[in-house]
Every structure is written in C-alpha cells, then in structure tokens.
C-alpha cells in the first residue's frame, strides 16, 4: 500500500510539473526565437505579467477564455516592440532595455490589474486525450486532465526545433542572428525579421502569462 501511495504521489508531482513547466516552455521558446535573430530580451518576466493580467481581465469581462488568451498574446507582443525599437532601431544596450522592460511590464500589470484579485474569470477547461489517458502511469501523467495548452506544448517544442534547423525561414532566422551582413547580401531584411521575431517572442511570453492566469 505504501508503494502504491508513493507511486501515486509521484504521478501527481509529475502531472503538476508538466502543467507549470508549460508556462516556462512557451516563454523559453519565444526567447529562443528572439535571440536566434540577434536580439536578447531580458524583459520576458514583464511581458508574462502583462499577458497574465490582460488575459485574465479580458476573460473576466467577456467570459471567453480563448479571447483572453489572444488578448494576452497581443498585449505582450505590442510591449515587446518597445524593446525592439530601442535595441534594433536605436541600437541601445539589449540588457539594459530588457531589464527596463521587466520593470515596465511589472508596473503596468500591478496598476492595470488593480481590483482583479479575487475575481472569477472563465477558464480553459482541462481534457483527457482519449485512449492515451488510460495507459498505466504514462496516461495519468501526460494525457489526463491537462489544459489544451499543455498538449500544445508537447508539439510546440519539436516543431520549433524543426522550423529553426530544417526550413528555409529558419535558415533566414539563423543567418540574421549569426551573419547579418551575409543575410542582407542575400536580400533578407535583417531589421524586418528581427522585429518579427521579437514580436513573436513577446506573443509567446504573453501566452505563457495567460497560462499562469
């Protein structure tokens, strides 16, 4: 009985770890894309908090959690463009700009989110993945009672690797980050792609924040 209880506790810990790890997964992938384009963004935490606040607020007012998710991604994406302007167009220090973005995002989330504490917003329901949820140990941990965002995370990480390493747009992304002069010679818009991936990174940070809330 003790062995069975320990195994069940281990399953619960792993199950909870996957749910919370998804938050970091989306944020990390967003930062990877931005950094591979040549822009380091240390403002991920600030963008996540803005995403969490925006997603919860929109979900609360509309009773539509998916709309809240989209709003969170857009809000954090727009905030990330401030970092893009400072570091890409004005060529300012990326570390300083990123830290400033963290402070800005944290402040905005605290001020604009004032009064949301204790409210009950519409939440994205959890689902089981068919017969996969019935597989001993693996099913309860990986495929039972998770948010769709967790299942998305399973696919998102390998697809991101494939995109970066095996596709032509991924090659352009690596070229812009590693050899911007060569990319420019090839006709690839260095500034344009850097802005794009900073925005995508911000959107993914917002998705991570919405996953929190």
Q: How far is CA 143 from CA 56, 157, 164, in A?
A: 25, 17, 27
Residue 49 makes CB contacts below 8 A (sequence gap 6+) with 105, 106, 108, 109, 209
The torsion angle over the Cα atoms of residues 53, 55, 58 and 63, rounded to 10 degrees, is -130
Yes or no: say if 204 and 33 are a contact pair by the CB < 8 Å rule.
yes
- Residue 86: what pLDDT? 97
- In 3D space, the residue among 205, 175, 180 whose CA is nearest the CA of residue 91 turns out to be 180
SS3 label, residue 88: helix
Q: What is the pLDDT of residue 8?
A: 76
pLDDT along the chain (213 residues), means of 10: 67 91 95 97 97 96 96 98 97 96 96 89 92 92 95 95 97 96 94 98 97 90
pLDDT at residue number 201: 98
Write the DSSP string, 123-152: -PPPB--GGGGGSTTHHHHHSSSB-HHHHH
3-state secondary structure (DSSP) of residue 93: coil
**Two tokens, residue 86:** 């400072």
pLDDT of residue 167: 97
Residue 26 structure tokens: 């989306």
């Amino acid at each position: 009985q003790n062995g069975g209880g320990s195994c069940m506790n281990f399953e619960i810990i792993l199950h909870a770890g996957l749910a919370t790890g998804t938050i970091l997964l989306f944020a990390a992938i967003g930062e990877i894309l931005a950094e591979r384009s040549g822009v380091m963004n240390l403002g991920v935490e600030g963008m996540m908090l803005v995403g969490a606040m925006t997603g919860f607020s929109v979900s609360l007012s509309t009773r539509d959690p998916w709309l809240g998710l989209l709003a969170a991604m857009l809000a954090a994406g727009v905030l990330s463009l401030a970092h893009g302007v400072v570091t890409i167009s004005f060529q300012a220090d990326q570390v300083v700009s990123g830290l400033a973005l963290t402070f800005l995002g944290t402040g905005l989330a605290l001020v604009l989110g004032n009064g949301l504490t204790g409210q009950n917003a519409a939440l994205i329901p959890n689902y089981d993945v068919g017969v996969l949820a019935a597989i001993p140990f693996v099913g309860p941990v990986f495929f039972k009672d998770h948010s769709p965002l967790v299942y998305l995370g399973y696919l998102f990480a390998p697809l991101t690797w494939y995109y970066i390493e095996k596709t032509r747009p991924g090659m352009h992304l690596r070229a812009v980050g590693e050899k911007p002069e060569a990319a420019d010679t090839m006709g690839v818009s260095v500034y344009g792609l850097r802005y794009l991936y900073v925005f995508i990174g911000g959107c993914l940070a917002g998705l991570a924040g919405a996953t929190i809330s």
